[in-house]
Structure 1
Amino acid sequence: MSEHGSAVEAFDAVDVIRAKRDGGEVAEDALRWMVDAYTREYVTDPQMAAFAMAVLLNGMTRDEVRVMTDAMIASGERMSFAGLGKPTVDKHSTGGVGDKITLPLAPLVASFGVAVPQLSGRGLGHTGGTLDKLESIPGWRAALSNDEMTAQLRDVGAVICAAGSGLAPADKRLYALRDVTGTVEAIPLIASSIMSKKIAEGTDSLVLDVKFGSGAFMRDLDRARELARTMVALGTDSGVSTTALLTDMNTPLGLAIGNANEVRESVEVLAGGGPADVVELTVALAREMLALAGQPDADVEAALRSGRAMDVWRAMIRAQDGDPDAALPTPNETHTVVAPSAGVVARMDALPFGVAAWRLGAGRARAQDPVLHAAGVDLHVKPGDAVTEGQALFTLLGQDGSRFERALAALEGAWEIGADAVARSPIVHERITA
């Protein structure tokens, strides 16, 4: 605990907790004090846990969420890319199964002369982290200094790297506390957590990919919409041009779930190929980002076809000491599941496939655990595809066969083959603006 001496604090944590517990609105100066005092360790974990639970149960007004977010930004450094001489635009996804969109998206948008600073994280649980995927590439380095990041944005246009510890340190403490107190689901706290880091990052504009469905953090569409609207309002209130897309995460995105295999799939997209759903979402997000950056008529498909986006990808990987031509890790053992009968793939539920990849070693149960870059799942079909008896449905990828049984257990009942055609639902469900 820090030393407090004889200084008199401006507020009392119990009063702030009671106000929110009783459904009231916490005054701006009291809320700013609460976040600052928690960062200084004057407000204790049990007190902040009680406050977080009161927020979960009673919510926050738009003003309260704005103040909370601003106070978390003020707890650390605030970056600026004003000296770059070009617009900056970032994307944040709430995460899902097979979500590798940042990898092709950042170089694609940067190929239009826009700076794309993607400060990313590592995966925990069934969703993979962008940095874990990129670390499949031999030599690639996630940690960059602010000077290296700025230089790369100026010279290459895109950077995907680890967020520094100086951004919104209050959020780091509160995030860990929410995780162990059953308050992760509080929408005001999710929104302020995500947006405090994104606004502190200093980007001019931001596009949010808010996912709903079985493999998403927010399974319910209405709650995902509420989160998206809250975050768009926060960005707008902070002077960051912000829009959001609500996107479907009931089925895994693309055909690759893991780390190295997701990098391979991303490179296929940059080469003008790749699965239709990954291309569709990459293009939709690129259009949103470029519109906010002042290029509403940008022909993003042409940049994929021409190889322009691939050139930026290769430069981006090289700038962080990676070898874009190096062989990616491959699994030592595989296990393929085939169709028991002919028919049409009726469903493939995203969450169980994410859990299976995690059990194979593609994700981590604890923050300190390593990931196995070659582990994961390759899908060979998607819902709506017709299959014959004995046709390959998906393949488990592992370092050894000892993990296959638990991965297969996760997939019990996760997929279905029926007799009738299945309508494919669009990836982008809705667009949300201020």
Structure 2
Amino acid sequence: MHTKADAKGLGNAASTRKPPVVMQIIPALGAGGAEQGCIDVAAELVKSGAKSIVVSHGGHRIPEILRGGSTHINLPVHSKNPFVLWRNVGRLRKLIREHDVDIVHARSRAPAWSAWKAVENTKARFMTTCHAPFNISGSAKKFYNSSIARGERVIAISNYVREYLLKNYEIEDRNIRVIHRGVAVEKFHPGAVAPTHLIKLSNEWRLPDGCTIVMMPGRLTRWKGHLVLIDAMAKLKRDDVFCVMIGDDQGRSEYRAEVEAAIKEKGLEGRARIVGHCSDMPAAYMLANVVVSASTDPEGFGRIPIEAQAMGRPIVATNHGGAMETIIAGETGWLVEPGNADALAAAIEEALTLDPERRSIMATHAMMHIADNFTRSRMVDETMDVYAELLREKFTGVRVDPPQLAPPVIIVEEEPLKAAAE
């Protein structure tokens, strides 16, 4: 069990000459799980007494980094251009030396290439986080992706991602640390949402009075499965159910038009709507009778299932990727075959027809499941543990793997067992 005390011990892993300095590198600070994890870890680093630096190409979430006490440095680390990648090597190496950085933590493939080379001839240690499995069609693509597996430690955000890394890259299992993403349970909790927030969102989205809400959060991109959900909604044949799809199209105007055309084609006008970005997701979840994650491609982790469960909402997700690790089928939610609109419709119908007692029991189990396994505090503490590993190695030259990675010790106690039998 990880506690805040574990994270506070980060400085003890370093020498007493100065607080440890950790530099996280991420393409941009916008919406997304990788960005949220970066922000959460940056804030915890500052709380632990370390110096936290975040390098990115910018984004609307920079103020969150600054409010947490970290330093933000703007560099074009989002670029995949080979010339920019090479120039970033020198830029990052200069920063590493100027700030006496102890650990460089790259959170994406392009900046991982630059950071991997930048730490050469410095005293900094290098690690990465793999947030998702990547397309490995072709040797060139596979080589490009391999930067994420070159860290002295590689954080995989799920066991699914861990298996992907082991199968496709030259990486030792002892260098991988599985750290699931976490949700801020103090924020994503039914008791934390004011009724006024629900009224505000309901008015903004023009929700019909007394309707039953099926909600699908997630950016508008094809593999998220919006078209499958629309097909499933049509199969429900229920006029009392209203479908809310939350998320930006991020420039994918053609796909948005395709989704809107599908709504019209299936006769769901007035019963399904794209509402765009939502900055108050706890309130959004409270409006939902059922939450859906219909991804047709497996996700490395998937925040929607853990957020929905933290809020005590019934969740229906596709049975692959990270969702298989975060949902207990039949106890905290439903898992259905990817791309199968009939199966999705059946699960949604079952969720909608839960009696109040069973719904309450499922909500309690789901909230406890998240509180025990997928909290933000656990995620940041486990990340601090990895930083502490690298700091100990840096200053002692000795590698000590966590206890859970050590081979099991089998003790045969024949005599005590015999005595007990007598």
TM-score in terms of structure 2 length: 0.31
> With CA pairs under 8 Å and 6+ residues apart, which has the higher RCO, 1 or 2?
1
Q: Which has the larger radius of gyration?
A: 2
